[in-house]
Every structure is written in structure tokens, then in C-alpha cells.
């Protein structure tokens, strides 16, 4: 996914929307960190659309042959996070991740968030709740928002092995 977004930045159709995207880095198998040059509260909604669907980066060379991971629907959206869930009514194959949660957080909160996500006894919903309660007030009071960072993490249903 990090490679995909880096390639999308170079595509004409995406350049205006991604011009403030400094970098995308994969942190393990289930987390992406988006580093922005300025805050963008609309980015989670933007990247959850069909235009930014999960796809192999090599597919950009042959857009006529589309493959994807399925379609998500919005489960919850607050000022702290956007949670998407697999859409059971999608006409194609179901998405592999049960849900995708995107948190808005200043860069200095990322280590805390990543530590919580690596804890096997925590679900991403619990991490989101804990993170929002413990860190949101700090994040909202901080004056220095640049570089602004968004963390994305996938959660899997109980009993399903993570990749």
C-alpha cells in the first residue's frame, strides 16, 4: 500500500489531491503512516473512495485490468477516527479485512498508537477508544500540527489469522 500511494502521487489524476502527502511508510503488516505537509481532515474520506481502492501498485501500468480488495462502507466517523467495515452487500468478493480504522493524530502520538496496536489482546476498536480518551485532549491542545500524521490500521475478525 505504501508503494501504491507513492506511485499515485506521480499520476496526473491524483497530484492535486496528494500534493501535501510527504510520505507513506508501512509499519508492520497492518499499519500505514501517512506524513502530511499540512493538516487534511478530509483525507480519510478521500482515500476511502473507489478512486483510492486497495490495489497492487503494478496495476497502475495497466488500468484496464482492475483488481481490488472489495468495497468498504463507513461504520463510524468522528473528529478522531474514521472506521470502515467490509460491505456485505458488495456485488463482488468480500474484502479480506473486517474493518479499517484511520486515526487523526499528531506525529508524536504515533509511537503510543503503534504500541497499542501491536498488543495481541487489544482490538483496534479498544485501541481507538483508549487512544481517543487518553490522547485526544492532548492532540487537540497542541499548537504545532505540522507535520500532521494519519495512521491506518486494519483489524481482523476474531478467529481469523492475520497475514
pLDDT at residue 29 is higher than 80: no
For the segment 45-96, what is each residue's pLDDT rounded down to a tens digit? 888 777 777 777 777 776 655 554 457 777 888 877 888 888 776 667 766 7
**pLDDT-derived band of residue 117, with 50, 70 and 90 as boundaries?**
low
Instruction: Choose between 51 and 117: higher pLDDT.
Output: 51
As a whole number, the mean pLDDT across the chain is 69
User: Given pLDDT bands bounded at 50, 70 and 90, which one contains residue 120?
Assistant: low
The predicted pLDDT at position 91 comes to: 65
**What is the rounded average pLDDT of the residues 41-46?**
83
* Cβ–Cβ < 8 Å for 36, 151: no
Q: Burial level of 67, CB count in 10 A (0-12/13-18/19+)?
A: exposed
Amino acid at each position: 500500500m505504501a508503494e501504491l500511494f507513492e506511485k499515485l502521487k506521480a499520476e496526473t489524476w491524483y497530484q492535486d489531491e496528494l500534493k501535501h502527502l510527504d510520505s507513506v511508510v508501512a509499519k508492520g503488516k497492518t499499519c500505514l503512516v501517512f506524513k502530511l505537509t499540512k493538516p487534511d481532515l478530509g483525507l480519510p474520506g478521500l482515500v476511502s473512495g473507489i478512486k483510492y481502492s486497495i490495489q497492487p501498485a503494478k496495476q497502475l501500468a495497466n488500468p484496464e485490468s482492475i483488481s481490488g480488495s472489495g468495497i468498504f462502507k463507513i461504520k463510524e466517523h468522528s473528529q478522531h477516527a474514521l472506521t470502515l467495515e467490509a460491505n456485505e452487500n458488495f456485488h463482488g468478493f468480500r474484502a479480506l479485512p473486517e474493518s479499517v480504522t484511520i486515526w487523526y493524530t499528531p506525529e508524536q502520538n504515533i509511537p503510543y498508537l503503534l504500541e497499542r496496536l501491536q498488543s495481541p489482546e487489544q482490538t483496534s476498536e479498544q485501541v481507538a477508544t483508549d487512544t481517543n480518551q487518553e490522547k485526544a485532549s492532548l492532540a487537540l491542545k497542541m499548537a504545532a500540527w505540522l507535520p500532521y500524521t494519519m495512521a491506518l490500521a486494519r483489524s481482523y475478525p476474531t478467529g481469523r489469522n492475520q497475514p
